[in-house]
């Protein structure tokens, strides 16, 4: 299985003969990133109303669309892949309207993957329980208004994923506040961190590390500063 970080919360994940894109964003003046134009068999997004997580218009036609907020209670099977949505919200401390979104998980090449969507609050016990068994966690690492990094550490310790891939942190382009990834990596010993020289990494079920490691990818799509 190959995981390619496009930018922000958007990944291209390839396995089982499928191409899955997560949380594509609108390339507007605020997000300020090149468009997501990769082809996909499936696009899965954490909501349908957040331009930083749901924009599909730049992706070539022909994909099946899964919106995690619509499958929280029922799940969905698309092209043989089972998707589960876990209800969440943006930060309840934001001054504007607090929108719902959903974390989501699926299994590819026998590996259980969870994407944290756009959750903005500490996870409840039931949310953490719903993430149990996660082997690869695509983790929100930019701090407020998404989950606080101390609260993210609690999640990582509780579910003990084999692999954590940070996303949704400060990179060249976006014109809104996010912390740099070093705010997360500094909380862990250097032996737990791998700085990948590129935007892609591959795993098989057998190649997953025995204990949690953090793999920091470089974004494929960004604006030169």
Reduced to 3 states (helix: H, G, I; strand: E, B; else coil), residue 151 is helix
What is the distance of C-alpha 118 from the center of its chain?
Answer: 8
Cα(123)–Cα(95) distance, rounded to whole angstroms? 20
Q: What are phi and psi of 192, to 5 degrees?
A: -90, -10
Q: How many CB atoms lie within 10 A of CB 35?
A: 17
pLDDT at 2 (0 to 100): 98
Look at phi and psi of residue 19 and say left if phi exceeds 0, alpha if psi is from -120 to 50, else beta: beta
Q: What is the mean pLDDT of each run of 10 residues along the chain (225 residues)?
A: 98 98 98 98 98 98 98 97 97 81 98 98 98 98 96 98 98 96 98 98 98 98 88
Strands 2-7 and 81-89: unpaired
pLDDT at 93 (0 to 100): 80
Residues 6+ apart with CB under 8 A from 202: 1, 2, 3
Give the chain's domains with CATH numbers.
2-216 (3.60.15.10)
Strands 100-108 and 111-115: antiparallel
Cα(22)–Cα(55) distance, rounded to whole angstroms? 10
What is the distance of C-alpha 72 from the center of its chain?
Answer: 17
Q: Which helix (H) or strand (E) holds 201?
A: strand 200-202
pLDDT at 92 (0 to 100): 86
Look at phi and psi of residue 86 and say left if phi exceeds 0, alpha if psi is from -120 to 50, else beta: beta
Computed on alpha carbons and rounded to an integer, the radius of gyration of the chain in Å comes to 16
Q: What are phi and psi of 112, to 5 degrees?
A: -85, 120
């Amino acid at each position: 299985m190959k995981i390619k970080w496009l930018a922000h919360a958007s990944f291209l994940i390839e396995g089982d003969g499928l191409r899955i894109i997560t949380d594509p964003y609108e390339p507007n003046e605020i997000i300020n990133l090149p468009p997501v134009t990769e082809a996909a068999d499936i696009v899965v997004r954490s909501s349908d109303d957040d331009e930083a997580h749901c924009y599909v218009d730049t992706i070539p036609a022909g994909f099946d669309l899964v919106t995690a907020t619509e499958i929280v209670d029922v799940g969905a099977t698309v092209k043989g892949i089972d998707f589960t949505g876990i209800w969440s919200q943006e930060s309840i401390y934001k001054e504007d309207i607090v929108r719902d979104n959903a974390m989501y998980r699926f299994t590819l090449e026998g590996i259980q993957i969870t994407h944290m969507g756009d959750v903005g609050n500490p996870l409840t016990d039931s949310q953490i329980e719903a993430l149990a068994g996660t082997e690869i966690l695509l983790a929100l690492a930019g701090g407020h208004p998404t989950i606080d990094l101390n609260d993210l550490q609690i999640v990582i310790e509780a579910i003990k994923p084999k692999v954590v891939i940070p996303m949704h942190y400060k990179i060249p382009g976006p014109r809104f506040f996010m912390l740099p990834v070093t705010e997360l990596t500094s909380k862990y010993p250097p032996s737990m961190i791998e700085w990948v020289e590129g935007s892609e990494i591959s795993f098989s079920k057998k190649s997953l590390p025995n204990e949690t490691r953090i793999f920091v990818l470089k974004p494929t799509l960004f604006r030169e500063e």
